Structure formats: structure tokens, C-alpha cells
Amino acid sequence: MAPTDATTETDVLVIGGGPGGYVAAIRAAQHDLDVTLVEADAYGGTCLNDGCIPSKAFITAADVAHDAANAAEMGIHADPTVDMAALAAWKDGVVDRLTSGVEKLCKANGVGLIEGTATFEDDHTARIAHDGADRETEFVAFEACIVATGSRPIEIPGFSFADDHVWSSKDALAAETVPEELVVVGAGYIGMELSTMFTKIGADVTVVEMLDSALPAYDDDITRSVRSRAADRGVDFRFGEGASEWHEAGGGIEVVTETADGETAAYDADKVLVAVGRQPVTDTLALENVDLEPTEEGVLETDDRARTDRDHVFAVGDVAGEPMLAHKASAEGIVAAEVAAGEAAALDYQAIPGAVFTDPEIATVGLTEGEAQQAGLDPLVGKFSFQHSGRAMTANATDGFVKIVMDASDGTILGGHVVGEEASELIGEIGLAVSAELGFDAFQSTVHTHPTLSEAVREAVLDTVGTAIHSP
């Protein structure tokens, strides 16, 4: 136990300044609680610094270059050159502005900020270690603690991120040159987003996936357009193969794969990007000192109030398990802060949307048709293709569709799935319907602006009962 004179007291200690942690800290401070936030690296966490923000910046830039180079159909002829160093500098500027913004928001709300690494000393005390020998270890006594330490990329045997030729997603998003040949291990959302991006800016990309399809978490009708578009762009998919080793060869590297039957293959590359998932960062916390034990995967299990087995210790974001999404982390952070402040709050996980920023985008929320049936419901399904959308035609973005799952008994919207341009934006309207338990009548009476992609949402809802106007 820390000496009394070396201990700072706070109502709520937040460990980690990512989208779960800083949001939790601000909301707790808004309840007039004394809040201390400890961050070991950079405010904003992985999402802001090394994940969703820099990846979307790169994806946007890649789309601009690709669209300009392929706009001859519109009468536009261009041959753009991608300056990766300049692109990286622009991306870093975006990240820096957002990072400083998080710090300013915390300070404006009275959140105390400490830079360092926190570990549990005992049930109500944390030890804060600082980089540098000239800084003393300090202790923080807390009434409640919110753990938001995030996750790290998973390494696979033989592929260490310490090797120059082996990239994590963080390394890929820090690249200042485009590899001529890139092998991507993993066809989940990170692998698919980055493989598409690098293909658009000139890399020759091979995707190696042990399973038999890309984006295996989604139904085939959801992913079909994404796989087809990626293949058309030049991505070479190698399903049923797992990366087993790599070695230097001819100035670059050779990545060796193996099938379940023991057959091997080899692919030349300049870099290999390992994107097989992420694991929660819970091994740095000394959880045994607060009588908590994570799962085998490193997850701190929680209830719908973000509480662990110790009611005064909360876990939010990636450390609380799937889905590992920034907005899920923020939503959990708000719930944790509310509960810590004595308020009634709980999270409806069914209404949390997900998005994959592939080409085209994928976004989902709520139940699939199969999940609704498994829950004993009687779902009606409506669908509207962007091929029939005037706005999609003018944007040259007719790939994809909106699919709505509705409860036949009362017309309540159970879920929605969008594949296509701006799917990540369109899903918000459907998410509101799921969260608020809105139904058919709400959409039927809502007039959408014309011409917009959002009209497709209303048409898909109408199609559940066969009254869509623009479906052939």
C-alpha cells in the first residue's frame, strides 16, 4: 500500500485515454465527480492515433486518386501521382489536431490528466509509473475505476512486428512509401480495408486467408460486392491458406503459406501486413491486486452497466471484448460514468452499428433475418438496390443495396444492412429506428430529400410489405 503522503485521491480513476476512456472521464466530470485520467501513450488512443482516423484519411486519399484516374466515363481524364510522404504529413496533421482536441476537452471539463502507466496496487489504489528516471512513482486512491486500456495487434508465429519487413496495421498507416508488392495476412475488416487502399495507390496486393471467404463475420450477400470489387481492382485472394513463415529473397521477401492439407505456396513481397485481429491490453494492469481475472483472450467480462465482477471497477472498449469499435467504447464509457455517478444507465448492445470502410462500404445494425428467426420472431425482409437510385447513378456508385429486417407482428424495425456508397452514414437512421423501436409507419411518413442515397432506406422499408415505389 502506498504511503498516505504520496497518494492523490480522486472519485473516479480512468485508465486509458482512448474513445472509451476520455469520454467516460468527461461524462463523470459532468456529474461533478473528481476525475483523474491516466494515459500511457497518446490521448485519443489507438483509434485516433493509429487506427480508424489515419486509416480513413488514407482511404479517402486513395479513393480520390483512384476516382480521378478512372473518371474517363464522365469525360474526366487524369493521371494522378500519389506523394506518400505528403499524404502521410497531411494524415499526421489531422491526427495531431484531433489529439490536441481530446486533451483540451478533458481540461475544459476539469479532468485531471496524468501521463504514465497505471497498475493496480490494491482494491482502491493504483500505482502510476512514469517514463524517465527523474520522475517519481505516484499513487492514486479511487472510489471507482474505469479500465479503458484498449487492444494491440495480434502477432502470429514467425512474423514479429519488430522485423522491418513485417507490418502491423499501425506500421502500414505510418508508411511513407508504397510497396510494389504487398502480402496481407487476414481478410477481416482491417485486412480488407488496407488491401483495397494499397491497391488503389499502386501496390500489387495478395491477400492470404485461412478461411474460405473474406469478411467471414458477415453474410455472403453483404460481402459479395466487396470481394468482387477488390478482385476487379487487382487484389489476388488466396483462401484456405495460412501464413507459415517468411524469408528474405531477391531484395525483398518471400511469404510461405500452407493449406490444411499441408500444401505450400510462396508469394514475393516487399512487405507483409499481418491483420489477423487484436487482443485486449489487460496484462499490464496487475489485475490480481484487485481480484480480477480476464478470460483466456484477455477480456474483462462486464454486465450491461459496464461493471466487472468488482462493482467499483468498470471495463469499457476493447478490454471488454467484441465488438472492438470506437463508438461502442464511447457508449460503454458513458454508461460506466453514469453508473459510477449513481445514475441508472445500461447499454443496448443490439443497437450498436458496425461499419467496414471497404469499397463499397458495409454497415450493419440490429438483427439479421436469421438472428430474428432464431429469436422466435417473424421477420419480413425488404431490399432496395442502389442500381435504382438516381443519386447513386449520379455518383457512379450503383453497387450495393439497403436491406431492412422488420417484425411482421408490429412493424418494428429489427435491423438493417447497407452495402454501398456512404453506408457508414446511412446506417445511423436505421440505428435510431432500432434503438427507439420505431417501425414501418415512421418511415412511411418520413419524407427524404431527393435525390439522396437515404431514399434507399425508406424504399427498403416499404419493400418489406411490397409497397416500394421505385423497385422494378
Residues pairing with 115 in the sheet: 39
Kindly calculate the radius of gyration of the chain based on its CA atoms and give it in whole angstroms: 24
Contact 289, 121 (CB under 8 A): yes
Q: For residues 137 and 23, what is the distance between their CA atoms, to the nearest angstrom?
A: 26
- For residue 120, give the 3-state DSSP assignment: strand
Q: What are phi and psi of 56, to 5 degrees?
A: -70, -30
DSSP summary character for residue 82:
-
Residues 119 and 65: beta-carbon distance below 8 Å: no
* Helical residues (DSSP H) of 70-209, grouped into ranges: 84-108, 169-172, 189-200
Q: Is 21 helix (H, G, I), strand (E, B) or coil?
A: helix
Query: What's the rounded Cα separation, in Å, for the pair 361 and 189?
Result: 11
DSSP class of residue 288 equals G
Residue 217 grid coordinates: 463475420
Pairing of β 361-366 and β 413-420: antiparallel
Can 450 be counted among the known catalytic residues? yes
CB-side neighbour CA atoms (13 Å) of 456: 31
Grid coordinates in use for 355?
461499419
Residue count (the chain): 472
CA distance 39 to 60: 29
Report the distance separating Cα 227 and Cα 408, nearest Å. Answer: 32
Catalytic annotation, pick one of 130, 388, 450, 470: 450
For helices 220-233 and 189-200, what crossing angle results, to 10°? Answer: 30
- H or E segment and range at residue 75: none
Helix, strand or coil, per DSSP, at residue 354 = strand
Contact predicate 347/320, CB 8 Å: no
Question: Could you tell me the end-to-end alpha-carbon distance of the chain, in angstroms, rounded to an integer?
Answer: 72
Residues catalogued as catalytic: 450
